[in-house]
Amino acid sequence: MILKIVTVGNPVLRQQARPLTLEEIHTPFIKDLIIHMRDTLHDAPGVGLAAPQIGQALQLTVIEDKAEYHKNISAADMAERERAVIPFHVIINPQIELLGPLDTVYHEGCLSIPGFIAKVPRARAVRVQCLDEQGQPKTIEASGWYARILQHEIDHLYGRLYIDHMQSDSFMTLENYQRYANK
């Protein structure tokens, strides 16, 4: 089932999401929610989707960066962004540690702010302590594009959007990005 993605202005995007209990993680509701979030992520398409983006103020996000999303990106751009395929996975109740300064700047977009993009400074590397969809503790050490995705999605769980961090003079429509900035 494809879920409706809420857009900027919806109050749920500015709330701090609540953590899930271990008991909740094992409920049919959460299991189904994860499946529906994956379907919605693929339909959008996107590389990450946080529960607040589908109207649920829960500390749950799904991430996947498929090879097919890379087909129009040059090898040089892939290397510069440190971007690679990321298999589908679930992150619950994450705690993030930035492993460096906010000195890596690239354009970001968001499914909840459709049609726009801006440059956003992020840490190049992060460490995330979380639970997986089975409720098992997990540590993720990530760098490059994966670290950016983690920062972006975890921000959603705390009521933050990329526009809160963006370089405001770089904010533009996707159409203008394709026309002017992506040259």
Of the candidates 80, 141, 153, 175, the residue annotated as catalytic is 153
pTM here? 0.96
The answer to whether 60 and 50 have CB atoms below 8 angstroms apart is yes
Evaluate the omega torsion of the peptide bond into residue 45 and state whether it is cis, within 30 degrees of 0: yes
Mean pLDDT of the 165-181 span = 92
Three-state SS for 25?
A: helix
Residue 155 Cα distances to 28, 41, 144, angstroms? 26, 17, 17
Q: Which domains does the chain have, with CATH numbers?
A: 11-181 (3.90.45.10)
> What's the pLDDT score for residue 178?
87
153 tagged catalytic: yes
